[in-house]
Structure 1
Amino acid sequence: MSSSSSSSQASSHSQHPILCASFNQDNSGFAVSSRDGFKIFDSNTGRLCYERGESLSPSSFLLCVGAFGIVEMLYSSSLLAIVGGGEQPSLSPRRLCLFNTTTGTALRELNFLTSVLAVRLNKKRLVVVLQEKTYIYDSNSLAILDTIDTVPNVKGLCAFSPSLDGCFLALPASTTKGSVLVYNVMDIHLHCEIDAHRAPLAAVALSTNGKYIATASEQGTIIRVHLVPEATKSYSFRRGTYPSTIFSLSFGPSLELPDILVATSSSGSVHVFSLGFALNQRTRRSNSLLGLLPDSVSDALDPAHHHVLHNAVSAGVKSYVVVRKVDKVAETSPADFVVCRATLSVVTFNGFFLEYVVNINSQNESKWSLEREFNLLSSTSGEEQHFQLV
């Protein structure tokens, strides 16, 4: 996931109506913001669960309608972390508000000297990313636990694994090459630095349990996966021959080896990389233990492990994908039987939600289908329903 909860943020001057999009930590819900407010949807049903386009609370921060640059959820609770888009003085991008959707009030506000570029949270930690500093807070007391000085991070690029057992934060370590710093957020220390690419980072994602990290550079042709505990390279996948901007990366939800890694790019394609299939093929080929494999792997694996849906979204339109569910069947099935069925949810910044299902058989052949599509901007809530506190 980008995490898992992973988010994508756009400038308030974006040409597209969606300013930000983020899924919660288990991908059961997602939030989108436009210049008129924000909405929260149930990923499973597409139901609009919460909407704010009018006066939000007596707080000075939330007096008027306007754009929000960041809306982050805490699982399916009533707590949101929101940041203004800066189009109005009361919606400052330097102010983070912890907002209760049940009461419609601001619980706490945090003010910063520069704009907040990204926010990540779980039940124990709150992470706030600025251009040259990243703050780690205790989620309950809001006490500052650490301040990390970073290289200029103008895009607010980061990844966060919400699991309390493997809670890591990834940040760019260089502006000239694709290096990434990985912090242990629970124990508050630098875990490792990984040199992943020659060009600067464009996208990064951590698996839910924090065991794997995926990276793409601004070149966008190679996507690499490293094992976080050992900081060793496990996989390299070739996305394509020509450069493309990687908009998002997301791992499957498995708590062991993620079955798949997915990506969206400026070409309008959705890419699926079969980690499990690559591992099985590699194991048969090398007869080696998993721990010994990274040293013997070529830089780019066979493209047969790569499945692409072309024109999944409009080319050039920013998009954000997550893997909501992966179903597997026994390997004793017939040779052409589906062994992996993945449900992918895509939010596009021109205002659409798309749900694709990709079936991959034992011969590593794939078949795609569009299961659902709806307009995020025209959706109405009917009877508004709040998420309940976990």
Structure 2
Amino acid sequence: MVVVSRSTPFRMNIYHFKKGTEICNYSYSNNILSVKLNRKRLVVCLEEALYIHDIKDMKLLKSLRNTPSNPKGLCALSVNHSNSYLVYPGSSTAGEITLYDAMNLSMVTVISAHASPVAAISFNASGTHLASASEKGTVIRVFSIPDGVKLFEFRRGMKRYVSISSLSFSADEQFLCASSNTETVHIFKLEHHNPSKESSSWTAYMGKVFSAASTYLPSQVSDMMHQDRAFAIVRLSVSGQKNVSGLAMIQKVLRLLVTSLDGHLYIYNVDPQEGGDCRLVKKHRLFESNDEDPVETELQDESLSYATTVKTTNQNSPSSSSLTG
């Protein structure tokens, strides 16, 4: 376990979690903004430098100095140590992402991901896909790794710029969720549409018409016509607060988990076939307070969001309205 405290933000302490003893500690020239690790590498991010350590003996392997200004400590390290890729902003003024091989300690490529600076980046579990969002927060893109080819492009919204606080892939790498400082969490489905299945339909015909028309339109309008919208949406009860979201399989059912600065964990059902609005199943308070509200709130009326959930939950648990932690 790696700990960076507010009282000494320039020092990193590494503990043996089970034994509860300190293994070692390192101090740096400036405040530590983020720490990433997998089974092979540990990466420490400062505002203008990154340090790569060998997780086995904590030996410093590489110092990446004079990197573009990164005041938020934005970086990501693949959890798949066989694909130990590291990404961080390649520019403080443009949406470039530097892809670095943390295992072989070599530069791979620079991905031109967005027009404006990058605000969020995240790998999938296998380290083969990278999701990114810019400071505008309107478009989310997914790239293949290590070649940096764009695979998907999703539009989160058009009316307002937002601050994307987290991007997270599902474990099966079929879905991607994005949360921001707004009241909405978007879930996108990573699938390529097959036009041949609907070749005779009116939808397919109109799609071809729009596709042909887009070649005569300005590039901004053309890009919007080819961007996919959210597959599923969660509408939070609070807005304006930073939150972090993730997708997980609980009792063999896909759930969205959201934690926010209001001190709660929210769990929603996600229908992997139909998508749409997701229903809140449980609300859990993450820390104690002086009020008398229960720590956990079961929302039994909301738990029956779709037939698959009911069937699977009944088969795998004593109570259809309960969730394991």
- Using the size of structure 2 for normalisation, the TM-score is 0.76
Distance 1:228 1:165, change over 3 A: same
Distance 1:375 1:283, change over 3 A: farther
Within the alignment, does 1:271 sit opposite 2:193 as a pair?
A: no
Q: CA RMSD in A?
A: 2.5
Q: For residues 118 and 283 of structure 1, what CA distance do their matches in structure 2 show?
A: 46
| Deviation string, structure 1 residues 206-254 (Cα, Å, up to 9, x no partner) | 1111111111111110111111122111111100012111110011112
8 A contact 1:360–1:366 mirrored in 2: no
Aligned partner (choices 143, 146, 154) of residue 226 of structure 1: 143
Question: How is 1:11-30 mapped onto 2 (pairs within 5 angstroms)?
Answer: none
8 A contact 1:211–1:229 mirrored in 2: yes
State the match for 2:46 in structure 1.
130
Q: For residues 263 and 54 of structure 2, what CA distance do their matches in structure 1 show?
A: 34
Distance 1:282 1:348, change over 3 A: farther
Identity of aligned residues (%): 31
State the match for 1:319 in structure 2.
243
State the match for 1:370 in structure 2.
280
SS in 1 for 2:223: coil
SS in 1 for 2:249: strand
SS in 1 for 2:19: coil
State the match for 1:338 in structure 2.
none
| Deviation of the 1:350 alpha carbon | 2.2
State the match for 1:158 in structure 2.
75
- Give the residue type in structure 2 aligned to 1:260: F
Q: For residues 285 and 167 of structure 1, what CA distance do their matches in structure 2 show?
A: 40
- Using the size of structure 1 for normalisation, the TM-score is 0.64
| Deviation string, structure 1 residues 264-299 (Cα, Å, up to 9, x no partner) | 0111211001112xx13467579xxxxxxxxx9x73
State the match for 1:184 in structure 2.
101
Aligned partner (choices 267, 290, 293) of residue 355 of structure 1: 267
Q: For residues 213 and 157 of structure 1, what CA distance do their matches in structure 2 show?
A: 14
State the match for 2:56 in structure 1.
140
Higher Cα radius of gyration: 2
Q: For residues 147 and 101 of structure 1, what CA distance do their matches in structure 2 show?
A: 27
8 A contact 2:119–2:134 mirrored in 1: yes
State the match for 1:207 in structure 2.
124
Moved >4 Å (runs of 4+): 282-286, 302-305
Q: For residues 377 and 327 of structure 1, what CA distance do their matches in structure 2 show?
A: 25
Q: For residues 205 and 284 of structure 1, what CA distance do their matches in structure 2 show?
A: 32
SS in 2 for 1:299: helix
Within the alignment, does 1:96 sit opposite 2:8 as a pair?
A: no
| Deviation string, structure 1 residues 94-146 (Cα, Å, up to 9, x no partner) | 00000233333222101111001100111111111011110000001111111
- Give the residue type in structure 2 aligned to 1:247: S
| Structure 2 unaligned blocks of 5 or more | 200-214, 216-221, 296-325
How many residue pairs align between the two structures? 267
8 A contact 1:153–1:172 mirrored in 2: yes
SS in 2 for 1:113: coil
| Structure 1 unaligned blocks of 5 or more | 1-79, 87-91, 287-295, 329-340, 382-390
Greater helix fraction, Structure 1 or Structure 2: 2
Q: For residues 283 and 166 of structure 1, what CA distance do their matches in structure 2 show?
A: 35
Q: For residues 101 and 272 of structure 2, what CA distance do their matches in structure 1 show?
A: 35
Q: For residues 196 and 63 of structure 2, what CA distance do their matches in structure 1 show?
A: 42
| Deviation of the 1:326 alpha carbon | 8.6
Q: Kindly indicate whether structure 1 or structure 2 has the higher relative contact order, using CA contacts under 8 Å at least 6 residues apart.
A: 1
Distance 1:284 1:184, change over 3 A: farther
